[in-house]
Structure 1
């Protein structure tokens, strides 16, 4: 019985790899006969696993979607990857995903072997999960799943975008700065477009195949970033941070090229963002002293925050705080905001 159960688990592990498995190949992998493979497949079906028999000269099997979620088998690396992903997914602006991720993580950690539980715990101690922003619009998970299904199947998609009906050819979903974007070819405009998913509703698959197209540049993520920087106001920040450069890169989650060491205890951060409040929150959450050299809008915003914080603390002087924003003299201020155009 033990040998049979072990063999069933190994068979299930193979079938969970999304491909067609010939009976002879499975028999070779399990070191059994094809007749035994057929019996084991029948046992898996009795346990609720939807194993489909494929026709052909060699026959074959494939695990397909069923009416219920069967147990999954994960190897060590897959289990750790899923656990870490569940720890960090709470910051994504998908409606209801945070509580669902917590429930799934609790179930997973309950059955993790001790050797893997220690690895997951160690990663959790040093990885900072992004906090969801209170004003960040969320994405309906049903919208996300319908669009993802259409993109994976290569089907045209009908959707409502900011009140306008569109028919598009979905290509890729790209998460950027806690927002989700769809890269798609817009049939009516005969051009590639980027759609923010929190502005999309009523997606419906049409069943019509998409044309074989390649996103400009061949990289959907780079295409989204290029469009966002070209259509949105961008602020370039230049600040001295009183923390080691390696710590700043880790805490800010930025390209190391944006952080230059000044000495062992401080560094220069040069980056950009589309909003001043977002820049301010990133710097303040570092928990270290810093000086802002540009843009002046950021220094002004920090002063306003300091005044409000001082008032909330009962009249404490705004200069008593440890986060210091130093703006250049008024006659040296230069607007660092790039030209803007209307956003989609």
Structure 2
């Protein structure tokens, strides 16, 4: 029996957050109190803003329904571990769709996890190998959570950085945004030593350290963090323009193709066209286009057309066609 009212309310809230209807008698049994006490506790939760719906009947029932705002979640140990492991797995491999909001959620969760649960999360993740890990390099989730915390808290971030040519340096930055391309994570930040905006590949970052020094965010050049990153990548590598026609609706192709490759435009005949710029090898782009599962034809560049033709021939020969 839980005699402490705050503790009992948290236990009641945890039960109600399971998507089902709870008979009043079952809640009373679980909490070790009377049905009258359950009704009083339900009223307290409503006063705190939790939308608890009651149903009529011989025993009565309660369920937590969607409200105007999301109240704080109450998780048991197993639920907290499961969510942390899932977020770590997605964040560590820059899975498409797992963006900065997911990393912020992971940072918040790990900040409040008791030491015993953090150990369980680390142990479980170390013993688990994902079948697929995305196209980019894997990243220590701790690196992302430290960065996300400094972005949210407007706190200066210091870290060691390894450039593409292997040159190492120490950076002191004002972090602005974390951006996922679906293959890699990047940090967009103001580099205080170089007095300019910079982008950093997170898989090349080590020893991230939140300094505790607060700052007022500077104004990023127009276009937002994602657009700034796109332009930065284009400046750092040779790119080529490509045009690909798909025999599928634009919304269907958009759901299968990374957004940073381009936005599908309807062609008026039930299909769509994707135009974009890429710095990736044509071999990778050819495979990525094929992974959409839709019929397509490459209009340009010539190198991509040639590689798609050669790839199709190799695949046909592999099955004796």
Normalised to the residue count of structure 2, the TM-score between the two structures is 0.56
Rounded Cα–Cα distance in structure 2 between residues aligned with 1:274 and 1:132: 21
Q: 2:315 aligns with which of 309, 325, 330?
A: 309
Q: How does 1:158-169 map to 2 (within 5 A)?
A: 158-162=158-162, 163-169=168-174
Aligned partner of residue 233 in structure 1, secondary structure:
coil
Q: 2:236 aligns with which of 231, 240, 255?
A: 231
Q: 2:289 aligns with which of 263, 270, 283?
A: 283
Aligned partner of residue 194 in structure 2, secondary structure:
coil
Which residue is equivalent to 1:145? 145
Rounded Cα–Cα distance in structure 2 between residues aligned with 1:241 and 1:91: 31
Q: 1:190 aligns with which of 186, 192, 195?
A: 195
How far 1:10 sits from its partner (Å)?
Answer: 6.7
Indicate if the aligned counterparts of 1:94 and 1:141 stay in contact, CA closer than 8 A: no
Rounded Cα–Cα distance in structure 2 between residues aligned with 1:262 and 1:28: 57
Indicate if the aligned counterparts of 2:243 and 2:274 stay in contact, CA closer than 8 A: yes
Aligned partner of residue 263 in structure 1, secondary structure:
coil
Q: 1:269 aligns with which of 267, 274, 288?
A: 274
Which residue is equivalent to 1:334? none
Rounded Cα–Cα distance in structure 2 between residues aligned with 1:150 and 1:274: 30
CA deviation vs aligned residue, 1:202-233 (integer Å, no higher than 9, x gap): 11222333354232237323322232233333
1:221 aligns with 2:197: no
Q: How does 1:1-344 map to 2 (within 5 A)?
A: 7-8=9-10, 30=45, 70=76, 90=90, 93=93, 132-133=133-134, 136-162=136-162, 163-217=168-222, 219-252=224-257, 254=259, 258-264=264-270, 266-275=271-280, 276-313=282-319, 316=321
Indicate if the aligned counterparts of 1:156 and 1:167 stay in contact, CA closer than 8 A: yes
Which residue is equivalent to 1:128? none
How far 1:305 sits from its partner (Å)?
Answer: 1.9
Rounded Cα–Cα distance in structure 2 between residues aligned with 1:183 and 1:307: 41
CA deviation vs aligned residue, 1:167-203 (integer Å, no higher than 9, x gap): 1122221112321111111111001111010111111
How far 1:236 sits from its partner (Å)?
Answer: 2.3
Instruction: Specify whether residues 144 and 292 from structure 1 end up closer, same or farther in structure 2 by C-alpha distance, changes over 3 A only.
Output: same
Indicate if the aligned counterparts of 1:12 and 1:73 stay in contact, CA closer than 8 A: no
Indicate if the aligned counterparts of 1:184 and 1:192 stay in contact, CA closer than 8 A: yes
Rounded Cα–Cα distance in structure 1 between residues aligned with 2:91 and 2:286: 18
When the two chains are superposed, the root-mean-square deviation of aligned CA atoms in Å is: 4.4
Aligned length: 227
How far 1:268 sits from its partner (Å)?
Answer: 2.8
Rounded Cα–Cα distance in structure 1 between residues aligned with 2:91 and 2:294: 23
Which sections of structure 1, spanning at least 5 residues, go unmatched? 14-25, 33-62, 64-68, 75-81, 102-130, 317-344
Which residue is equivalent to 1:120? none
Aligned partner of residue 188 in structure 1, secondary structure:
coil
Aligned partner of residue 222 in structure 2, secondary structure:
helix
Which sections of structure 2, spanning at least 5 residues, go unmatched? 16-40, 48-71, 103-131, 163-167
Rounded Cα–Cα distance in structure 2 between residues aligned with 1:207 and 1:166: 15
Instruction: Specify whether residues 235 and 10 from structure 1 end up closer, same or farther in structure 2 by C-alpha distance, changes over 3 A only.
Output: farther
